[in-house]
Structure 1
Amino acid sequence: MINWDGPSVRHILSLSGGKDSTALAIHLRDRVPNMEYIFHDTGKELPDTVAYIERLESYLGQRVIRTTTRQGFDDILRTKGGVLPSGRRRWCTDYLKLKPFEAYIGDEPCINYVGIRADEDRVGYISHKPNIRAVFPFRDDGIDYAGVVRILTDSGLGMPPYTEWGRTRSGCFFCFYQQKIEWVRLKQHYPKLFEEAKAYEKPNRVNGQVFYWTDEPLDQLERPERMAAIEENWERTQERKRARRTQRPLVDVLGGLETEPTPRDGCMICQL
């Protein structure tokens, strides 16, 4: 039987470079003095994400440990015969996030602090290893999306810099869970990374089939007329959302109710 209050229990917060895990690190900085902060660097992160982690290190006054493995994305892709990960083949999450996380912890008792908010109806990644216990401070403390934004603002860190140009998630720059508009923004803000993502779309060695990051090839998505159509469609969607917000009940408006602009899906350990 593990004594979860004992001195031998490790306290670990896994950071993604996203707003929630960053806000949780700030929220717990003075509450859990022996916290270990870790970051699973895939080597395919946005420069914005890496810079945000470094700013957080300065705020915490503590190094965030990188759990980078010997095998990077390209190494594992070769073992997969060039078959890209997708929503049905999430080997990137398994090999570059989950396995490094559990390898770092080993068999020692550990409390894993998870940044799922009070306004979210999801579970997130929960290890089945008996020595790892997940806790949810934001849920316990009633902290929702507005509370997370407030924590980041008050700390001076603010929201992750990639949100300024329209990206909604942390994780690899070629994440297959990206929206079409996020691919367009990547092309506009990091054209070299877009080209790198596009170069992965080639016949694999298993059956010669070409796999794509999204439901259309990036060399088609990047055509000016296609990008313009995606942006136009995105803007219409935003207008509908703004219209719905103006129709909220008066009690919500007076109460300052705020919700996350884009509900999240995908690899939970990547985007908290």
Structure 2
Amino acid sequence: MTTQQPVRHIVSLSGGKDSTALAIYLRDRIPNLEYVFCDTGEELPETYEYLKKLEVFLGKPIIYLKARQSFEDMLKARGGFLPSGQVRWCTEYLKIKPFEEYIGDSLCHNYIGIRADEAHRKGYISSKKNIIAHYPFIEDGIRKEDVMRILEESGLGLPAYYKWRSRSGCYFCFFQQKNEWLGLLENHPDLYEKAESYEKENLDTGERYTWAAKESLKELRSPERKKMILEEHERRKAQLQQSRANLLLMDVFALEEDNGDSCLICHL
């Protein structure tokens, strides 16, 4: 006689504001809730610090999942071919596969922090039929202002990286805006240099593997280019603040380049 596997209830955490707010929102609503973070090993220090604070608030351990191979091992196996918005092998192998392996064949209800004001972002996280996606914020009409209230009332507030970055995810995320790359350079120059070391250029063919579109991180950090990027960011920020009173800095980041194609499991 086979023993029936228990039904599991899991919140997928990214270290970002929405999934954190969802974990808080569901903490006392769903019994036996699991909190899972797919750790690429390439996260910002602020992400780990924020997850530690969340763990204390939840009163329950967050389960950290890691891929069998590191990012660097995978990068070498691909001949230095960097992940990109078109080929997101980092998300597939460092986030989705470890999560699916952790679930196995159990029936799993997976709770995802997409808000009611961004319902269009529903998209692929896992294709396994035993993993059933739920969107409590969409169902309950929870919007960005509600998420901010949940975080403030919990005492957690926002992760520290929101001062210079619009989303969670790896420090080298290819969805970063160029002013955010400069934020990484200012706040974590060691990580910027590490990301820069992964870029490659074939002088014979002219083929380049770069994180940012059309320019390398070495080019992006040059004084002239840095000045242009920061001036453009300030110009856009002023325009947006003029049109929207009391606009938060994180809203400025998001409105400048709202990329609906970003990897959901990384950036909620």
Please give the TM-score of this superposition, normalised by the length of structure 1.
0.89
> Could you tell me which amino acid in structure 2 is paired with residue 124 of structure 1?
G
- Which residue of structure 1 lines up, in the alignment, with residue 142 of structure 2? 143
Q: Give the whole-Å Cα distance in 2 for the aligned partners of 1:221 and 1:128.
A: 37
Aligned to 2:24: 26
Match of 1:127 in 2: 126
Aligned length: 254
> What is the match of residue 191 of structure 2?
193
What displacement does 1:81 show? 1.0
Which letter maps to 2:263? Answer: C
Match of 2:171 among 170, 173, 182: 173
Contact 1:116–1:124 (8 Å) recurs in 2: no
Partner of 2:104: 106
1:267 pairs with 2:263: yes
Q: Deviations over 1:212-250 (max 9, x none)?
A: 00121111110112111101100111111112214xxxx
Q: Indicate if the aligned counterparts of 2:67 and 2:95 stay in contact, CA closer than 8 A.
A: no
Structure-2 residue corresponding to 1:156: 155
SS state at 1:104 partner: helix
1:62 is paired with a residue of what secondary structure? Answer: coil
Partner SS state of residue 36, structure 2:
strand
SS at match of 1:112: strand
Partner SS for 1:175 = coil
Scaled by the length of structure 2, the TM-score of the pair is 0.90
Q: 1:36 aligns with which of 29, 34, 37?
A: 34
Secondary structure of 2:28's counterpart equals coil
Deviation, 1:264, is 4.5
Q: CA deviation at 1:208?
A: 8.5
Contact 2:112 2:133 in 1 (8 A): yes
Q: CA deviation at 1:128?
A: 2.3
In 1, the alpha carbon distance for the partners of 2:127 and 2:8 equals 17
Alignment partner of 2:6 out of 8, 13, 36: 8
Offset of 1:8 from its aligned partner? Answer: 2.2
Deviations for 1:12-41, whole angstroms, at most 9, x for unmatched residues? 111000000000000001111211111111
Post-superposition Cα deviations, 1:48-104, rounded to whole Å, max 9, x if no partner, equal 011111110011011111111220100111111111111111100110011111111
2-side partners of 1:95 and 1:270: how far apart? 12
Structure 1 stretches of at least 4 aligned residues deviating more than 3 Å after TM superposition? none
Q: Distance in 2 between matches of 1:229 and 1:201?
A: 22
1:115 and 2:113 equivalent? yes
Return 128-137 or 174-183, whichever deviates more.
Answer: 128-137
One-letter amino acid matched to 2:71 = F
Matched AA of 1:143: I
In the alignment, structure 2 segments of 5+ residues that lack a partner are: none
1:150-188 deviation per Cα after TM superposition (whole angstroms, max 9, x unaligned): 000000000111012x10111110001100000011111
